[in-house]
Amino acid sequence: MPFLIVSPYLIHLCLFVLFPVVFSIFLVFHKWNIISPMEYVGLDNFGRLFADRLFWKSLWNTFIFILVHIPLQIILSLMLAYFINSKIKFKSFFRSAFFLPVVISGVVITILWQQLYGLESGVINQGLMAIGLGRIEWLTNPKIAMVSIAIMATWKNMGLYVILFLVGLQTVPQSYYEAAEVEGANDWQKFRFITLPAINPTIFMVVILSTIGGFSLFIEPYIMTDGGPLNTTLSAMLYIYKQAFGYYHMGYSTTLSLFFALIIMSVVVIQKAFVESKEY
Amino acid sequence: MNLGPKKFLLYAILIIASLTFLYPFYWMILASVTPEENIGKLVFSPQGLTLSHYKDMIVKIPIWSALFNSVLVASLSTFGVLVFGSMTGYALAKMRFKGRNLLFFAIIFTMTLPFQITLIPNYILMVNFKWVDTLTALIVPALNSAFAILLFRQAFMTIPDDLIHAAKVDGCGELRIIFQVLWPNIIPSIITVAILTFMTSWNDVLWPLIVIREEGLMTMPQLVTLFAVGGRAEAQLGVKLASAVLLALPIIIAFIFLQKYFIQSMASSGIKT
Q: H/E/C letters for each residue in A174-226?
A: HHHHHHHHHCCCCHHHHHHHHHHHHCHHHHHHHHHHHHHHHHCCCHHHHHHCC
Q: How far apart are CA B87 and CA B175, in angstroms?
A: 8
Residue in B120, B141, B229 nearest the CB of A254 = B120
Whether the predicted pLDDT of A201 surpasses 90: no
- B235 pLDDT above the threshold of 80: no
Report the residue count for chain B.
273
Q: List pLDDT tens digits, range A67-108.
A: 999 999 999 999 999 999 988 889 999 999 999 999 999 999
Domain boundaries, chain A: 36-87+161-278
Beta bridge pairs of residue A39? A31
What ipTM, to 2 d.p.? 0.92
Nearest to A63 by CA among A263, A209, A225: A263
Mean pLDDT for A244-266 is 96
Backbone angles phi, psi at B171, to 5 degrees: 90, 20
Q: Is it the case that residue A116 has pLDDT exceeding 50?
A: yes
The partner residues of A40 in beta bridges, in order of sequence, read A30
Confidence of residue B36 (pLDDT cuts 50, 70, 90): confident
A&B contacts, CB < 8 Å: 235
Contacts of B267 (CB under 8 A, 6+ apart): A160, A163, A164, A167
**pLDDT tens-digit profile of A20-76?**
999 999 999 999 998 889 999 999 999 999 999 999 999 999 999 999 999 999 999
Whether A206 and A164 have beta carbons less than 8 Å apart is answered as yes
Pairing outcome for strands A30-31 and A39-40: antiparallel
Please judge whether B41 and A93 are an interchain contact, meaning their C-beta atoms are less than 8 angstroms apart.
no
In whole numbers, what is the pLDDT of chain B averaged over residues? 92
Rounded CA separation A33/A30 (Å): 10
CATH numeric code, A36-87+161-278: 1.10.3720.10
Instruction: Find which of A3, A28, A75, A104 to mutate to test the B interface (most B CBs within 10 Å of its CB).
Output: A104
Q: Hey, which residues does A30 pair with through a beta bridge?
A: A40
CATH fold of B62-229 reads MetI-like fold (1.10.3720)
pLDDT of A262? 96
Burial zone of A64 (CB within 10 Å; 0-12 exposed, 13-18 middle, 19+ buried): middle
What average pLDDT score do residues B156-176 get? Answer: 92
pLDDT at B184 over 80: yes
From chain B residues 87-106, the ones with a CB under 8 A of any chain A CB are 87-88, 90-92, 95-97, 100, 103, 106
| H or E element that contains A40 | strand A39-40
The DSSP annotation for B44-88 comes to SS------HHHHHHHHHS-HHHHHHHHHHHHHHHHHHHHHHHHHH
Residue B94 sits at φ, ψ, to 5 deg, of: -120, -5
Q: Are the CB atoms for B240 and A223 separated by under 8 Å?
A: no
Longest C-alpha distance within chain A, in Å? 78
Q: pLDDT tens digit string along A172-196? A: 888 888 899 898 888 889 888 998 9
Residue A85 φ/ψ, nearest 5 degrees: -75, -10
State the smallest CA–CA distance between residue B77 and chain A in angstroms.
Answer: 13
B236 band by pLDDT with thresholds 50, 70 and 90: confident
**CA A152/CA A108 separation, integer angstroms:** 12
The per-residue pLDDT for A280 is: 46
From B18's Cα to the closest Cα of chain A, the distance in A is: 6
Interface check for B24 against chain A (CB to CB < 8 A): the answer is yes
DSSP class of B32: T
Chain A residue with the nearest C-alpha to that of B44: A123
Using the predicted structure, report yes or no on whether residue B3 has a pLDDT greater than 80: no
Helix residue spans in A28-144 (DSSP H):
44-51, 53-84, 91-103, 106-116, 123-130
What b/e string do you get for B235-261 counting C-beta neighbours within 10 Å, with b at 16 or more?
ebbbbbbbbbbbbbebbeebbeeebeb
Nearest CA in chain A to B114: A261
Sorted by where each begins, the domain ranges of chain B are: 5-51, 62-229
Dist. CA B172–CA A138, nearest whole Å: 63
- What is the pTM assigned to this prediction? 0.93
Phi-psi region of B132 (alpha: psi -120 to 50; beta: other; left: phi over 0): beta
